[in-house]
């Protein structure tokens, strides 16, 4: 499955990028990730261990950082293999964040989820961007009050 979602966040690109790549804080805004831990860093590569909030078990992945333009990642759980590119583009209103995802479903039930799951996966990705937007905008608002 391939899909793309986009959302404008009312903060500067550097702030959006920095907040998005603060992986240990991801559980504060992500509806999917319960816990994210950086296991190591090598150059622009960051290796993460993730505990999802839903079924699918522990996940691990590699994230490549291309500051402040994009984040590329690959990850795998028991049920999925995912590749994504998240782009950060300056716009007059703040930053347009666009997530492009390629999701491969694994296992004998994948044929069922492929027919049912694209709209749900796209909706879930949009929910993640919306949740991130609320989080980073609230951070920005609280910093401007200080």
pLDDT tens per residue, range 7-50: 999 999 999 999 999 988 988 898 776 678 899 999 999 998 87
The CATH number assigned to the domain holding 46 equals 3.30.530.20
Structural domain that includes position 109 = 2-145
Number of domains the chain is built from: 1
Whole-structure pTM value:
0.83
Contacts of 71 (CB under 8 A, 6+ apart): 17, 20, 21, 63, 64, 65, 85, 86
Residue 127 φ/ψ, nearest 5 degrees: -60, -40
Report the pLDDT value the prediction gives residue 145, as an integer from 0 to 100. 47
Whole-number percent of the chain with pLDDT over 70: 84
Which residue has tokens 């209103």?
93
Q: 63 and 73 in contact (C-beta within 8 Å)?
A: yes
With a CB cutoff of 8 Å and minimum separation 6, the contacts of 93 are: 8, 10
Average per-residue pLDDT in the chain?
84
Strands (E), the chain: 2-9, 33-42, 45-52, 59-66, 70-76, 80-91, 94-105
């Amino acid at each position: 499955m391939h899909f793309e979602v986009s959302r404008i966040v009312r903060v500067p690109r550097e702030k959006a990028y920095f907040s998005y790549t603060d992986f240990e804080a991801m559980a504060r805004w992500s509806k999917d990730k319960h816990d994210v831990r950086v296991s190591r860093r090598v150059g622009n590569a960051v290796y993460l261990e993730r505990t999802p909030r839903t079924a699918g078990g522990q996940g691990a992945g590699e994230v490549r950082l291309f500051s402040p333009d994009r984040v590329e990642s690959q990850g795998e759980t028991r049920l999925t293999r995912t590749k994504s590119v998240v782009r950060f583009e300056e716009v007059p209103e703040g930053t347009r964040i666009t997530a492009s995802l390629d999701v491969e479903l694994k296992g004998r039930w994948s044929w069922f989820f492929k027919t049912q799951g694209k709209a749900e996966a796209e909706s879930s990705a949009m929910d993640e961007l919306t949740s991130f937007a609320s989080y980073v905008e609230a951070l920005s608002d609280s910093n401007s009050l200080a």
